Structure 1
């Protein structure tokens, strides 16, 4: 029978703790997988995977997606962002506008963690069309099947939600989900702080997805708003089909879209929120 000496065990423990401390001590910029400032261009400033933005007639047939925007109602708004330009959705759309998630969100079938951060500007009660809309949805399929998303409800006043819907075959196999199933998998903010002339920072984190310890947290303007936990539905993807979907039915501005490779804690989320000139400040000696 093989045995391990106490000295060897101590050495392994030391290496593990050193590695963990190094990872936790890395500056925020070293945790960025993807960052699109929308300043003067649609391609991402930073991308581990594909940096290009794509558009297609709809999400049912993205094999024919083209690089760039193919809709005059989705444009770069010059000087319309928090510091520079922003992406502006002028009308509610069902067409597809997306970045490829493959490698840009570091999906893992074993244990998947990360943070998605962005800014929104709109008056949801005056500007949105009368139906649900998703400014951001990350999935390889659809919002209800292994999808992470934020949306505005069709109620008046409009509520803002984070949703974490695992494999639909697990959480809704008979297509008979009820309010209890939904409330377990969403965080609802009511009233929401969004305003037409003021930017609102949104961040959601996901931790240890595809394990029995997964949780999903929502932050607005650096403040914790709620958590989804004790659900543990699997998120099963065909990785290369993953997409960061933008502006499904949304009318308003999006800016400073970023994905980190870890679940940021509250102080880190607050740090990102307080960067006056966006995430570019991380590369100018801050954090």
Structure 2
């Protein structure tokens, strides 16, 4: 594996941006998975995953708070396009975004393009030591890591792109860093890079064929190709721990950080560096229109066409006491016809199963709980995903074997999170551990009263499920699976795989009246 060292003006590999215009880049707007302009706050403008920016006490990220919490990192005027992120001194804390979904990773191969703008601080130099304006990893700088850094000993400092596969892959003998020949380090190094206090420099790198035997990593400055690595790469990331860290030991400005799914050509990178406005412009109206067209309205606002009903103790599609109905354009779950609830749990199933998708639901709790409802069921409902076919449920079965996104309302005074996880007949994996407890709380805030709440559930087959409230991922887990110790799940294991890659979607009736005014789904092709 060779490190490529290139003087700034010694290479004429950049392709003229006249071959590709800003208008030609418009199709790349649909491929943006993450974009932070810093013009509307520190959080991202757009994110396929979590938009929030976080501050950790150290690079291990053991103690974390949402938001910018460092005294030396702040939003500032004078950005490339508007505001920017300013690192006024070396920070003790680490600023980062979550990488899950924002970095389009796949174990069997992926392409990605990352780009941002940098400008050195007008008042002071970088401090001694290595400086990493960008580092992406779930482990360490030399183990499954991508980074852009400044060297510590050169004057002026060189800048490098580091592409460090799994440590066992690129350095299986654990050779100490100082003993590795420069030519064998997995980096592209640029001498005398075009950074200054007076102007902004565009930084980009393109990774093509990652996790394959035909990987190419290219490093660009101001739209010009500086060098590349041609070597197989193997990145094994725990996506729940993946972090996009900004400004480690850095003093200076950063703006317009963007991640694209796919590998740009040299001409496209050159055009990207020539844009006359933020890359957020690529995500505007055309993408908004496409986004609206992609969402399927599972609830049509008029009736329950396309849905099936299963209430405990009743046959399929026996809607006892009109439990599920449409009122004023909303799905309403009510119990006026019940003398006692008597554990008659109900579920409203969409007829078509799905596997990989985004599901957006808006709900609110209303009225009083039905007589005989359990205490835990007060202001309690749920969205069931990866569920069993209602036609396979026993007549007296309480819940479908499924993964439940538990919806809870506050009682007016106490904290009570929503978008929690419950697992009727199932288990999941969190942080590498099989979770067998029935319910796990999220990190959401509490929603009291009858306010509408919007929840987004990102489902990616058996690979990942995320619960998102108000743009923040409040719970994430992997490998949803049947519980072999559960009697109802055992019946399903006789005819299907243990891991759940798809299934039904249903809305729950658990004794407290609830309304749903939006149920929409976007299929995600992976």
**TM class, shorter-chain normalised?**
0.7 to 0.9
Tell me how far 1:64 sits from its aligned partner. Answer: 2.7
> Is 1:168 the equivalent of 2:167?
yes
CA gap 1:183/1:123 in 2 versus in 1, 3 angstroms: farther
CA gap 1:53/1:192 in 2 versus in 1, 3 angstroms: same
Native 8 Å contact 1:184 1:228 kept in 2: no
Q: Distance in 1 between matches of 2:162 and 2:119?
A: 20
Q: Tell me the secondary structure at the aligned position of residue 58 of structure 2.
A: coil
Partner of 1:13: none
Give 2:139's match in structure 1, choosing from 135, 138, 141: 141
Tell me how far 1:66 sits from its aligned partner. Answer: 0.7
Q: How does 1:153-232 map to 2 (within 5 A)?
A: 153-155=151-153, 156-173=155-172, 174-177=174-177, 178-180=179-181, 183-230=184-231, 232=232
Q: Tell me the secondary structure at the aligned position of residue 239 of structure 1.
A: coil
CA gap 1:187/1:247 in 2 versus in 1, 3 angstroms: same
Partner of 1:109: 107
Q: Tell me the secondary structure at the aligned position of residue 227 of structure 1.
A: strand
Q: Distance in 2 between matches of 1:142 and 1:111?
A: 21
Q: How does 1:208-287 map to 2 (within 5 A)?
A: 208-230=209-231, 232-283=232-283
Deviations 1:194-245 (A, max 9, x none): 0101000000011111110111100111111100112x23111111110100
CA gap 1:145/1:157 in 2 versus in 1, 3 angstroms: same
Q: Tell me the secondary structure at the aligned position of residue 150 of structure 1.
A: strand
Q: Distance in 2 between matches of 1:133 and 1:273?
A: 23
Tell me how far 1:180 sits from its aligned partner. Answer: 3.0
Q: Distance in 1 between matches of 2:184 and 2:198?
A: 31
Tell me how far 1:176 sits from its aligned partner. Answer: 2.8
CA gap 1:56/1:271 in 2 versus in 1, 3 angstroms: same
Q: Distance in 2 between matches of 1:94 and 1:222?
A: 32
Partner of 2:93: 95
Q: Distance in 1 between matches of 2:31 and 2:270?
A: 16
CA gap 1:283/1:176 in 2 versus in 1, 3 angstroms: closer
Native 8 Å contact 2:25 2:282 kept in 1: no
Cα-Cα RMSD: 2.3
Tell me how far 1:92 sits from its aligned partner. Answer: 1.3
Tell me how far 1:175 sits from its aligned partner. Answer: 3.5
Native 8 Å contact 2:129 2:152 kept in 1: yes
Tell me how far 1:25 sits from its aligned partner. Answer: 9.7
Q: Tell me the secondary structure at the aligned position of residue 29 of structure 1.
A: helix
Q: Distance in 1 between matches of 2:197 and 2:67?
A: 27
Structure 1 alignment gaps of length 5 or more: 1-23
Q: How does 1:40-51 map to 2 (within 5 A)?
A: 40-51=40-51
- TM-score, structure 2 normalization: 0.47
CA gap 1:241/1:283 in 2 versus in 1, 3 angstroms: closer
Native 8 Å contact 1:132 1:154 kept in 2: yes
Partner of 1:6: none
Q: Distance in 2 between matches of 1:25 and 1:191?
A: 30
Native 8 Å contact 1:88 1:252 kept in 2: yes
Give 1:128's match in structure 2, choosing from 110, 126, 129: 126
Native 8 Å contact 2:30 2:283 kept in 1: no
Tell me how far 1:170 sits from its aligned partner. Answer: 2.4
Q: Distance in 2 between matches of 1:181 and 1:102?
A: 32
More helix by percentage: 1
Native 8 Å contact 1:56 1:64 kept in 2: yes
- TM-score, structure 1 normalization: 0.85
Partner of 2:419: none
Greater relative contact order (Cα < 8 A, sep 6+): 1
Native 8 Å contact 1:275 1:281 kept in 2: no
Structure 2 alignment gaps of length 5 or more: 1-23, 288-526
More strand by percentage: 2
Native 8 Å contact 2:88 2:121 kept in 1: no
Q: Distance in 2 between matches of 1:106 and 1:135?
A: 20
